[in-house]
Amino acid sequence: MTMNAGPPLLEIDRLSIDAVSAGRQVRLVDEVSLNLQAGQVLGLVGESGCGKSLLSYSILRLLEPGLRIAGGNIRLEGKSLTDLSERKIRAIRGNEISMIFQEPLTALNPVFTVGDQVAEVFRTHRGMSKAEARRKAVDALAEVGVPSPEIRVTQYPADLSGGMRQRVMIAMALACRPKVLIADEPTTALDATIQAQILELMRGLQRNFGTAIIFISHDLGVVAEVADRVAVLYCGRVVEEAPVAELFQNPRHPYTRGLMRAVPQPDAEVMPAILHEIKGNVPRPGHLPGGCRFHPRCPIARDICTTSDPQRIKVGADHHVACWEATDAH
């Protein structure tokens, strides 16, 4: 993988998301910038509630009512998605950018057959006839390793195991060979063996189709298995971003190091010695501490951390972090 190889495929540019209720605005995602190169896998990690899902929904403008993009831009191959008409963004959804979700149990509609739900994508984006789309649905299921797909297409989601349902979701998402796949915690709801199989499947498909992936997880270990680059999110902000090997060898943000503690490490002595568990809870949006958002939980917080917000700085080739400790070291 090369750095800065031309303009990014997908560019998230100082994106902010607000919740608006009863005239009050709460910022949930705060000026997040991320770049995804063609064919690359970008991992997005952070504890539950840090805004990973909102960030991913906003790309396809799937935010629920009450949430809105408050600033910034999202561009696919240079063209802005945030101000596209509803009709044009629809033509992109499931076609150029698709999504899979955390809960395969509820993400498929219980009252339609699996075949119908996969075929819909072909009918919508490729204008295929019912019969043609049904045949393509069988092929699509075969591609993601669903056994006897010609029988599966006639079944309902309730007849399938969690792993099979997630395969169906993947088949649906990749049906139109999108340029970008957004996977929001695709394996979190699955048990360990199935999780490994699904990860393996995604890696294989990514190699074959060259799809760029935004892979979201709260588990840094899972992200490490699939991602080329990793962005660490805390309270709606990117606090650290680096290629995966660099991040694991040289984590600069105390939060990143805290997340790594939760990951079984093959070579634990590489880890810096100052680590403690991440203590405390994620602050609620709207009740964020002043200064650095992480300082109440940070093992190395100093005076400056409580009063002013660290800027994002470059600490290595393609390695960025927002932490006073790193700033001072430079």
Partner 1 sequence: MLSHILKRLGHTVLVIIGISIISFVFLQLSGDPVGLMLPQDATSQQIEELRHKLGLDDPVIFQYLRFAGNALQGDLGRSLFSNEPVAGLILERLPATVELAFFSMAFALVIALPIGIVSALKRGTIIDTASMILALFGLSMPHFWLGIMMIMLFSVQLGWLPTSGRGSFLHIIMPAAAMGISMVALFARLTRSTMLEVLGQDYVRTARAKGLPGYLVIGKHALKNAMIPVITMIGMEFGLLLGGAVIIETVFAWPGVGRLIVQAIMDRDYPVVQGAVMLLAMVFVMVNLLVDLAYGWLDPNVSLQGESK
Q: Which residues bind partner 1 (CB under 8 A)?
A: 57, 60, 62, 64, 90-95, 98-99, 101, 103, 106-113, 120-121, 124-125, 156, 158-159, 169, 172
Q: Is 113 in the site for Mg ion (CB under 5 A)?
A: no
Which residues in the 108-167 window bind ligand ADP by CB under 6 A?
none
Choosing from 19, 45, 81, 153, the residue that interacts with ligand ADP (CB under 6 A) is 19
185 vs 246 by CB, closer to ligand ADP = 185
How many amino acids of this chain bind ligand ADP (CB under 6 A)?
A: 14
DSSP 291-315: SSTTGGG-TT--HHHHHSPPPPEEE
Distance CA 168, CA 166 (A): 5
Q: Is 53 in the site for Mg ion (CB under 5 A)?
A: yes
Q: CA separation (Å) from 170 to 38, 100, 130, 223, 280?
A: 19, 7, 21, 18, 36
Distance CA 307, CA 309 (A): 7
- For residue 324, the partner it binds in Mg ion, ligand ADP, partner 1, none, with Cβ less than 5 to 8 A by kind, is none
DSSP 90: H
User: Is 105 in contact with 113 (CB distance < 8 Å)?
Assistant: no
Shortest CB 185 distance to Mg ion, Å: 6
Selected range binding ligand ADP among 59-67, 168-176, 189-197, 302-310, rule: CB under 6 A = 59-67
- For residue 215, the partner it binds in ligand ADP, partner 1, Mg ion, none, with Cβ less than 5 to 8 A by kind, is none
108 vs 224 by CB, closer to partner 1 = 108
Q: Is 23 in the site for ligand ADP (CB under 6 A)?
A: no
216 vs 305 by CB, closer to ligand ADP = 216
Beta strands in the chain (DSSP E): 10-21, 24-36, 41-45, 67-76, 79-80, 97-100, 180-184, 212-217, 229-234, 237-243, 313-316, 319-321
Q: Is 37 in the site for Mg ion (CB under 5 A)?
A: no
Q: Is 170 in the site for ligand ADP (CB under 6 A)?
A: no
Beta bridge partner(s), residue 11 = 35, 75
Q: In which residue are the tokens 């069988």 written?
A: 138
Q: Which helix (H) or strand (E) holds 133?
A: helix 130-143
Shortest CB 258 distance to partner 1, Å: 30
Structure tokens at 58: 């906003």
- For residue 98, the partner it binds in partner 1, ligand ADP, Mg ion, none, with Cβ less than 5 to 8 A by kind, is partner 1
- Of residues 70, 74, 60, the one with CA closest to residue 30: 70
- For residue 285, the partner it binds in ligand ADP, partner 1, Mg ion, none, with Cβ less than 5 to 8 A by kind, is ligand ADP
Shortest CB 286 distance to partner 1, Å: 21
Choosing from 37, 53, 113, 217, the residue that interacts with ligand ADP (CB under 6 A) is 53
- For residue 124, the partner it binds in partner 1, Mg ion, ligand ADP, none, with Cβ less than 5 to 8 A by kind, is partner 1
Structure tokens at 75: 């561009």
Distance CA 247, CA 148 (A): 42
Q: Is 43 in the site for ligand ADP (CB under 6 A)?
A: no
Burial category of 135 from C-beta neighbours within 10 Å (exposed 0-12, middle 13-18, buried 19 and up): middle
Q: Is 76 in the site for ligand ADP (CB under 6 A)?
A: no
Q: CA separation (Å) from 9 to 4, 83, 211, 228?
A: 11, 18, 11, 15
Residues that bind ligand ADP (CB under 6 A): 19, 28, 46, 48-54, 64, 66-67, 285
Task: Summarize as ranges the residues that interact with Mg ion (CB under 5 A).
Answer: 53
